[in-house]
Amino acid sequence: MESSVREWRDTSGAAQAPWREAPHFDDAGWEDAFAGDWNPSTGASEAMDARVQGGRETFFTRLRSFVRYLRIVLLIGVAAGAAWIGSRHVAVDNAVPPTSSPTSEATSDAAQAAGANADNGATVQVDVHGDVRHPGLVTLQEGARVRDAIRAAGGFRRDGDAADVNQAALVWDGEEIDIPAATSENTAPETQASGQMGTVAWTAGNPSEGVASRASSGGMSASQSGGASRARKHAVPAGQKININTADLETLETLPGVGPKRAAAIIAYRQAHGPFSDLDSLRHVKGIGEKTLAKWQDLIVFVPPGNASTAGHPGP
């Protein structure tokens, strides 16, 4: 809940960027404060002026005049470089499972809101592939939708692709989004995973709407046929349940809506507070809400570690 303030200030247009300002001014009076009696000047400009006065404006002189633009280029480069490094850090941070204290993850709603001014929205990473221009990992703000993920991946390759995708669905960290190619017959794209897999754990929106979007964890892969890419996926096999108190990172990732970050958060909370007793106790883990729990209620069990027969792997 804390994330709210910055996020709104972030996403609501009014607070976002009122920075187109009156650009009329006549002299650089403020600069006088810096200049003082120092009377600065660039050596390059002096050299250039001397040559111009002498009427010998050569190619090199003109070239030198462009050196003045170096300051502008440098300024833009410093800012862009810093931002680029900052964006790289986000990617690296997301790639590494978080090791933060679980107590900080499970702060109360009110406390979260209080810190919203600083904590302006976590990011999520989503793997987008299929019929998009630049398939691959994209980083989005938490609360982003499938539409944002597709746009971050360069947009649809063909305009017809948009017709089959529920772009309004929310995305989860670690999710895999596969954009099926629009077929000439305009048939609904195939979204189910291969053969022996059980029910699709979760899709962004409605499976029939064409986006196969699942939490991936390695292991089984979906079939690929007809030129249209399919989602590689892992899901809890039909009829089997995961023991949330013993499941490891990979197993947790098979739950719908769970990526590496959320799986790590569950484990960290479990290590700090002991086993989960019921569905409600999972609410304390950051990012898990009612909707998520509703999807999990038939997929997880709460067996204390001592009584578990398998080390968290799906059991009957």
Partner 1 sequence: MSRTRLHACAIIAFLASEWSRYVWGWRAAGTAAAVAMALALVGFVWCRDRRLLLVVAASLATGVVAGSVWAAWRPAHPAVPPGARDVIAGEVQSVKETHGRKEIMLAVRGEGEDAHPCHYEALVFVERGPHVDAGQWVEADGTFVASNRVPTAMDILSPLELFDGRVRVLHRAASVGERVTSFMASGMEDGAQEENREFVQLALSMIFGDAQGNLPQNVSADFLAAGVTHLLVASGSNVGFALDMAAIPWHHLFGRARMRKKRLAYGAYALGVIWGFALICGFQLAVLRAACGATYSVAAGMCGRRVSGYTVLWSSAGMAGVLDPADLLTPSMLLSFYAAFAVCEADSLWRRTTADRAERSNDRRTFSASAVRRVGASLVRAFLVTAVVDAYMVPVLWWMFRQWTPYGALSTAILEPTIELLMPLIVLWGLTAGVAHALPWPPIAWCAQVLSRLGCASMFAVVWFVHRVASWHGSLRSLAPASFASACALVFALVAVAHVRMPRRHG
- Identify residues 128-167 at the interface with partner 1 (CB under 8 A): 133-134, 139-141, 147-148, 151-155
- Name the residue nearer to partner 1 (CB basis): 75 or 188: 75
Contact 179, 128 (CB under 8 A): yes
Helices of type H across 213-309: 249-252, 260-273, 290-296
Please select the residue that binds partner 1; options are 56, 58, 69, 280, rule is CB under 8 A: 69
Half-sphere exposure in the Cβ direction for 291 (13 Å, CA): 9
For residues 200-213, one letter each, b for 16 or more C-beta atoms within 10 angstroms of the residue's C-beta and e for the rest, the string is: bbbbbbebebbbbb
Place of tokens 């994330």: 3
Please select the residue that binds partner 1; options are 121, 174, 256, 257, rule is CB under 8 A: 121
What minimum distance in Å lies between the beta carbon of 251 and partner 1? 25
CA distance 23 to 25: 6
- Name the residue nearer to partner 1 (CB basis): 26 or 185: 26
Pick the stretch among 17-25, 158-166, 208-216, 235-243 that binds partner 1 (CB under 8 A): 17-25
Handedness of CA 69, 36, 22, 120 (dihedral sign): positive
23 lies in the site for partner 1, by CB under 8 A: yes
Using CB under 8 A, count the residues that bind partner 1. Answer: 92
What minimum distance in Å lies between the beta carbon of 304 and partner 1? 28
Please select the residue that binds partner 1; options are 50, 63, 83, 294, rule is CB under 8 A: 83
Please select the residue that binds partner 1; options are 50, 63, 80, 311, rule is CB under 8 A: 80
Residues between 25 and 54 that touch partner 1 (CB under 8 A): 25-34, 38-43, 45-46, 48-49, 52
227 lies in the site for partner 1, by CB under 8 A: no
CA distance 79 to 102: 35
Residues between 272 and 291 that touch partner 1 (CB under 8 A): 289-291
Contact 281, 244 (CB under 8 A): no
Query: What is the pairing mode between strands 300-301 and 242-243?
Result: parallel
- Name the residue nearer to partner 1 (CB basis): 142 or 190: 142
Pick the stretch among 24-32, 204-212, 295-303, 308-316 that binds partner 1 (CB under 8 A): 24-32
**Contact partners, residue 8, CB within 8 Å, separation at least 6:** 15
